[in-house]
Amino acid sequence: MLATFIAQATAGGWKSPSVDYHALAPEIVLAGVVCLVLLLDLFLPEHRKWMTATLGGFGVLAALIPVLTLAVSSEPARVMFGGAYVVDDFSLLLKALFLIATYVVILLSTTYVDEGDYYEGEYYVLLLTSALGMVMMSSSRD
């Protein structure tokens, strides 16, 4: 198996996939924010857990910036991974809708989660992870 892979790679039969990082920027930002919120929740004392909501909100807004820059660009559609992942106008509309809805949920639930006896960090990690899944599914073709 390894010999076959090496033979294909050296004979020119294998090439790396082309990745458009600008088209993947919202997903990359959200994944980074999920990791940061998880680490922040791990190391913060209980009276500073409100910072996870703040970081989550700013992270969602930061993920919305590449969506807006992709929407105003002149390229019609960005296709990656053999056509399995497509960033077109409809997927950008859905991404913007999902990110705005996530931001509104963060704003509306901040006081509720803070006043109740809930695990704040885990709530925002789950919320951001579900938003990441929605954003990724909006661009999947297959």
* pLDDT greater than 70 at residue 136: yes
Angle value at C-alpha 125, between 123 and 131, nearest 5 degrees? 105
Amino acid at 35: C
Distance in angstroms (rounded) separating the CA atoms of residues 93 and 87: 10
Q: Which amino acid, one-letter code, is at 139?
A: S
pLDDT in tens, 36-66: 999 998 988 888 888 888 999 999 999 999 9
pLDDT in tens, 61-100: 999 999 999 999 888 888 888 888 888 889 999 999 999 9
Q: Determine, yes or no, domain membership for 35.
A: yes
115 contacts: CB under 8 Å, gap ≥ 6? none
Count up the domains in the chain and report the number.
1
Q: Which one-letter amino acid corresponds to residue 142?
A: D
Within a 10 A sphere around the Cβ of 69, how many other Cβ atoms? 11
- Inside any domain, residue 97: yes
- Expressed as residue numbers, the domain containing 118 is 19-137
pLDDT mean over 18-30: 89
Residue at 2 is within a domain: no
Residue 12 counted as domain residue: no
